[in-house]
Structure 1
Amino acid sequence: MAELKYEIKETIAVLSESPKGWTKELNLISWNGRAPKYDLRDWAPNHEKMGKGVTLTKEDLEKLKEVLGTSF
């Protein structure tokens, strides 16, 4: 499997923290040197490991915000 490279450009929010110290975060991340995208996933302390997550474009995030704003 190819090595996955990432750079967290900005931490937007830490949504929660588990008893083991893992945090659910919304970050702006550059994956493999590409343009940064919004990313929501669980991270181990110090970001040495990550859980499965979802990566969103700015347009995806704006649409999600719109949908959540009208649904709740």
Structure 2
Amino acid sequence: MNEIKFEIIKTIGILSTSASGWSKELNLISWNDRDPKYDLRDWSADHSKMGKGVTLSAEELSALKQLLNTVEG
């Protein structure tokens, strides 16, 4: 199995942190030397391990932002 290469270009923000130290984060990440995309997933405190997540282009993030602005919460 090939190792996944990633570089966190920019941390946008942390949504939550669990008692175990893992954080749900929105970051701008370059995966396997590709153009950076927005990424939402759980990370260990030292960013050596990650959970499953979702990766979004700038256009998809903009569409999600518009959808979230319609949500009552």
Same fold (TM > 0.5): yes
- Identical aligned pairs, as a percentage? 62
Match of residue 57 from structure 2 = 57
SS of the residue corresponding to residue 46 of structure 1 reads coil
Alignment correspondent of 2:14:
14
What TM-score comes out, normalization by structure 1 length? 0.98
SS at the partner of 2:53? Answer: strand
Matched to 1:9, the amino acid is: I
Structure 1, unmatched stretches of 5+, are: none
- Deviation of the 1:71 alpha carbon: 2.1
Distance in 1, matches of 2:39 and 2:58, equals 10
Distance across 2 between alignment mates of 1:3 and 1:18: 26
Tell me the secondary structure at the aligned position of residue 65 of structure 1. helix
Instruction: Please report the RMSD computed on the Cα atoms of aligned residues, expressed in angstroms.
Output: 0.5
Structure showing the higher helix proportion among its residues: 1
| AA aligned opposite 1:55 | T
**How many angstroms apart in 1 are the aligned matches of 2:29 and 2:58?**
12
Looking at structure 1, the residues matched to 45 and 22 of structure 2 have their Cα atoms a distance apart, in angstroms, of 6
